Every structure is written in structure tokens, then in C-alpha cells.
Structure 1
Amino acid sequence: MNWNQPLEFIPGKVITLSTHLEKPSPFYFGYDIEKSFTAELEKYSFDKIFFFTEPHLFALYGKDLYLNICEKYRCELEFVPTGESCKYFPVLEETCEKLIEKGASKKSILLSFGGGTVGNIVGLVAGLIYRGIRFIEVPTSMTGQTDSTLSNKQAVNGKTGKNHFGVYHSPIFIWTDTKYLKTDPPTSRRSGIIEGVKNGFISDATFLDYLEATLHQDAKYTDEELYDLAYKIILSKLEILKRDPSEKTYGIILEYGHTFGHGIEWLEKGKMSHGEAVSFGMKIAAELCQELGLISQADVDRHYHVIENKLGFNNPFPKTITADKLMDAMIADNKKTGRDLRFVLLEKIGQCDNRQGDYLVTVDPVLVKQVVENFIQRQQVEQKTLVLA
């Protein structure tokens, strides 16, 4: 694919893609396509819509879409806690019980308007209530639009780690309007883009070249640039999902950097975004690949260059995280497939190691811990140097 060919920017135009799942969800993409939303709803029969969002997102964009729906259909507004705090069992239970009390039926549709956390709780509720009812995803963040909605994984966190409890439940359709990205904060934008950077490292070196030439360190983009960037990151993931929509065989490569990243995110308890945690995780994963003789020092340096200099994820590593703490967190991570620590690793830029036949490589924990300790020590030295300078 010619990644450098810009997508023609036509406000109001709806582009239709597919998630390639076993039960594929139509994926509608565009800029300022809100007026077409109710026409899509006309394809479905339902008794009521429950519109889930966060208060600040409702004030920014959600109110207009909600009122448009209310003009033709029964629609009830529901708020969920902001951010990762909504992904816990008490919120899940309260939401399920509230829907029963308010008369939700097997004919009802839930609508998630927001980022990945809103989508996760609403998707899981939809998967559980009455053994599964329909839902729609309207992602408003870069992560939601380009990454999380392309899978059908819905989950909440447990006491020892992220996403320990969930189901596979796909939406009836996904509605992606890049107009909502106007007010996506820089950290949130970077959190979505980092997954695209990951897609380049694991499957398409030419896409990584495109990102390296396109990204802005300050995360400021025009509407046209965000439209083009989001669309191409979506395509980069769909190319992987075409080969494995389940993300259980080849698709497991999408977890590159995530075993480290999930551990870091969990230890930070909401003080760090998922994307920033993954950015650290990818750098540590690259160091591990180099230590195993899989990639060169130049390839490792390219991770740091793209992530820090081009994308702008260059905050210091948290001082409270030690190698011991991170090792313990990784052992509890939901991607663990047995007693051993196993990682997605690069064989080269654009290709993952598949020596064990499932794109996961078993690595001696002693070596992993040493790589983590070395990474943390270098981060601390660099931070001291910056302070002295």
C-alpha cells in the first residue's frame, strides 16, 4: 500500500470498512458524519436505546448526537465514571442492575459514546445482560477510533491486573467521526498513535517510514491531518486482522510491548495512560529483543527516536516502579499463557519472531529482570543528567 498517498478529505462522506471478525461489524468512518447516523439506525428494529457516555464528552459532542436520536427514537441518557475508574466490578454490577430497573429488554440497544474505557464497560454489559444484547460503539478518542473498537474484546479490571474478566462481544456497527478528535488531548492522541507505531514495527516497515515522516512531536494536527492519520492507522491494524480476526494466532503480535506496558499501567494506578505505558513497554521489549540477538542496536535506537522524538512520548519513567514490582505485575498479566513469561518479540523491523509457532517467545525471567533493571537504571541516569543540565 502507498501510505504516502493522502486520503481525500470530504466532510460528510461516510467510508465503510469491515473489522473482519467472525461476525464482522460494519465500521463507518468519516469527518462530520453525524447527520447520517440516524439513517444507519433505521436498518435495525429495537424498542429503546440507552446512550452511555461521560459528562464532559456529552457536553462536548454527545448532546448533539443524543438529541438527534431522540427526535426519532426512545433514547435514555446514562453516565459512567470517567476513565479507567469505570472498569471495575462495582460499576459493572450497578450498570447491569440499573438497566434491568429501567426496562431494558432483549430488543434494546446500548450505545457507547466515548473512549476505550466507556466502550469496554458498555460492551461487557451488553455481552452479559440477558446473555447478550446489541450495542453500538461511537469512539471519540484516537485510541478508540484506531485500535480498541477494531477488536471485540470487552473487559473490566481485577484486583491484580488489567482486563482479567471479560467476553468477546462485537458491536452491530462502529461509527467513527474524526471531528471528535479535535479536542482529544495530546496524551490521548499519542496513546492512539503509539498503537499505529507498534503496527509498523511488528508488520509493515513501510508504514513505520510513513509515520516517522508524518508525526508531530507536539501532537498538533489539522482536521485533514487527523482524518488521514486515523484512517491509515485503522488500515494498518485491519491488515493484521485480515489474517487473524480472533487475535489468538498471528494477531497476537498486536500485543508487542503490552506485557511490560500492562504491568507499568497497573502499577501506576491511573496516573499513566495505557498508550504511554505501552510506549515504555515497547522500548523495554526492543531492549529484550536486542539482548537476545534478534535486532540491532540501530533498531532499538529507532524505537526511542520514533516514540520520543517523533511522537513526543518522552516523560521520565516512574520512580516508584522497580524491576521486582514490574516482574510481579507481569506474572499476573492477563496475557500470560502458562507458568513461563512469554513475549511478542521482533525478528526484524516489520516482522515478529515465530520460533515457537504461536508468535510468543518464552524468555528466562532472570534475563528479563536484568533487561528491566538496566532500562530503569539508564532512565534514572538520563533524568539526573537532565536535571543537572
Structure 2
Amino acid sequence: MSEREIRFGGVRYGFSVGHGPTSLSALTRKLGGLDADRFVIVADAGLSEEQIDEIARCAGEVAPTTVLPVLADEKAKSLDVVNSLAERLIPTGVTRRSVIIALGGGLVGNMAGLLSALVFRGLRLVHIPTTLLAMSDSVLSLKQAVNSSVGKNHLGTFHAPVFVWNHLDFLRTLPADETRSALCEMIKNVLGIVPDRYADVAARLRADAQYTPEDIAWFIDLCVDAKSAVMRDDLHERGDALVLEYGHTIGHAAELLTGGELRHGYAIGLGMLAAARIARELGLLTAEEEAAHRELLVLNGAPTVLPAGVTLEGVLRTISLDNKRGYVKGTAGTRDLILLEGLGKPHRPGGAQITQVPEAVVRLGIESITAEVA
């Protein structure tokens, strides 16, 4: 069992990583320290009954516990579903002393997180992530958001958990594609924040995604280090921490256009490849630095071309509604992107981490990840 403190600005919360029966016993003790009158577990309906029951037993030893299953589907990540959860939650007898436990991947974590931020203007939140992507990325943020009908993560706020409990046993049945997808976000951290870890990561990555618990704990620790480095004084992710959105503008568009069928991490990997090509076209990255993006993704076994049916025009149309618009004054004929001017060096024209890229260059970047060109 390893424990450390996450600090983003004035916000601090515990972050534990463990596995085996001792991890669950320690979780019960940790929940007992919250002095909660009730726990409500918002659980991914796709988890096994045994997995949900394990956590429900831990919470139930401390206080009355209710489980609210929710469909972990990109189409369900909406205010309508959050409202339906509230309609199921409030009659359970929750009070301001109650605690919401998010049990699932990043999607469920976001819905439960936004729910906890809104009910009674803020209930306490505990994250128990069940996917590597959530353990290494989404719970290392205060952002809680759902989609609007026209784009990803348009509706949300900031709400910190009281602690995060990473129980690695949940990853035993995780599909290999889910592991590879998660590690794409870790690769983003290496390329954008900690390029000094490049060689170590390249040596550890396996296309078959067969890792030991020690490997997984190492990957998670790297992500904690990287995200803490840029969020320590930027908890709302508007300054230095904007680099965490590297690859997300084009990646989110591709993810949305597939209705979530393209895994989030895979989408971000593709978005980074496009961003690297754009940066090279603008003279910001060398050919070797662009190639470094592809090398790590290939070592990880991640896709390097967009799925069939995702068109260049569709991506361009969708990124015009990206939620990062407005950090700088808009310029006609351009798209706002986060780019690198070297590994670990975000491009900061005018001091902001937003580059206004001519649409013709954005097209070249997107074309570089289409099957016809790649």
C-alpha cells in the first residue's frame, strides 16, 4: 500500500494505491474516518456484482449504504442522467454529512463528481476508480463535467474529492485496449511535461499490455508527478496546466464523432499525432520530435489512424465548438490548439499556451492521421 498527498493550489487530498485484502480493510478504516451518516455509491453498471459488493461491504460496515448503478456510456454523460441520479439519491435520506462514492472509470467519476458538487451545493466525494485511465488521469483533477448535446465536457465545475482509493485488483479483468488507452494519457504527460522519463517509459511499454501490479503502480506514480508539477499552482488548469489538454482538441472531436466507440486515450493519442504534425509544419518541432510521438504510441500498441467514418470535415466542424475557446481572442480562419515547441516545452505565443493555427495547417495535421495518408 502506498499513500501520498495530492496538492493543487490550496486543495489537498489523499491518494492511495494498493491491492489485495489489506487494501479493502484499509479502505473501511479510511471511510470510517469521514464520520458520514450515509454513503451513496454511484457505480458503473458494467462492473461485476462481486466488485460492487466488495466496496458496498466496506462502506456498509461504517454507515448505511445505497448503490445507484449508472450506465457508463458517452451518450449517458449528460445533465439529464445527473438529474435522474439526483432524483434517485435524494430520497435515500442523504444529508450534508453524507458522502458520494464514485465507483467506476472516468466517465462515471465525472457524473458522480458533478452530482456531488450540485446536491445541496456540495456533498463530499470519494473516488474509487476501476480503470487505469481513471487512476492515472481523471481523478488527478478537480474537473467534474458532462457533455452538452453539441460537445464534450461543456457543462461542469470544479469539485475536489476528500480522497482517492486506487484498488489495483479492479484492473485484473481490464481489457488490454483499456490499458493501452490509459497509457496514451501517460504518454501525453511524458511528451508534454516530463520528457526526461521518455527512455524509461519506452523501455517499459508493451504492445500486449501485460503488466505487473508494480509496473502499473509505476505508471500511476509518473502521472501523479507530472500532473502535480503543472497543477501545483494552477488547480483550475488555466495556466501551466493547460498542457494537460495537449492532443485533446482534435482527440475529443474524434471521440465525439464515434459516439465514444473510439476510446478516450486512443483519441488523445491521435490528437497528439495531429498536433505534432501541425507543430512541425509551423517550424516548432523537428522531425525527430514528431517521430517521438509515434514511437511511444506504437510501443504502446495504440492506433495511429482515425477510425473509418471519421472525416476531416467532421473533425474541423467539431473542434470549432471545443471548450478551450476564449482563452485568447478569436481570429477568423484559425483554430485554437495547444502545441509544443519541443518535448516538454509548450508553445506560448503572447504568454498563453494557445496557438491560433490557420485552418489550412490544421487540415494538414488531421490528414496526417487519416488512413489514406498514413
TM-score with structure 2 setting the length:
0.93
1:43-192 equivalence runs, <5 A:
43-192=33-182
Secondary structure of the 1:220 match is: coil
Q: How many Å separate the matches in 1 of 2:25 and 2:32?
A: 13
Deviations 1:320-374 (A, max 9, x none): 1222111110011112225342111111112111122121111112321233234
Cα distance in 2 between the residues matched to 1:17 and 1:85 = 34
Q: How far apart are residue 225 of structure 1 and its match?
A: 1.9
TM-score by length of 1: 0.90
Task: Give distance in 1, aligned partners of 2:80 and 2:212.
Answer: 40
Indicate the percent of aligned positions where both proteins have the same amino acid.
28
Q: Find the aligned partners of 2:249 and 2:305 in 1 and give their Cα distance.
A: 19
Matched, 1:380 2:369: no
Residue 344 of structure 1 corresponds to which residue in structure 2?
A: 338
Map residues 5-24 of structure 1 onto 2, 5 A cutoff: 13-24=1-12
Question: Match for 1:323 among 306, 312, 331?
Answer: 312
C-alpha distance 339-159 of structure 1, shift in aligned 2 (>3 A): farther
The residue number in structure 1 matching 2:25 is 35
| Higher mean C-alpha displacement, 105-114 vs 37-46 | 37-46
Match of 2:357 among 360, 363, 367: 363
Distance 1:60 1:307, change over 3 A: farther
Paired amino acid for 2:104: G
Deviates more, 1:349-358 or 1:14-23: 14-23
Partner Cα distance (1:62, 1:148) in 2: 20
1:333 equivalenced with 2:327 (yes/no): no
Q: Which moved more, 1:234-243 or 1:201-210?
A: 234-243
CA RMSD in angstroms, aligned pairs only = 1.7
Asked if 1:252 is matched to 2:242, the reply is yes
Write the distance in 2 (CA, Å) between the matches of 1:293 and 1:315: 22
Distance across 2 between alignment mates of 1:31 and 1:19: 24
Separation of aligned partners in 1, 2:69 and 2:169 = 22
Which deviates more from structure 2 when the two are superposed, residues 217-226 or residues 119-128? 217-226
User: Are residues 187 and 21 of structure 1, via their aligned partners in 2, closer, same or farther at CA, if it must alter by over 3 Å?
Assistant: farther
Higher mean displacement: 124-133 or 67-76: 67-76
* Structure 2: runs of 5+ lacking an equivalent: none
The CA distance in 2 between the partners of 1:230 and 1:349, in whole Å, is 21
2:306 aligned partner, one-letter code: F
Are residues 1:216 and 2:211 paired? no
Bigger drift between 345-354 and 315-324 goes to 315-324
CA contact (8 A) 1:86 1:117 kept: no
Partner in structure 2 of residue 305 of structure 1: 295
Structure 1 alignment gaps of length 5 or more: 1-12, 383-389
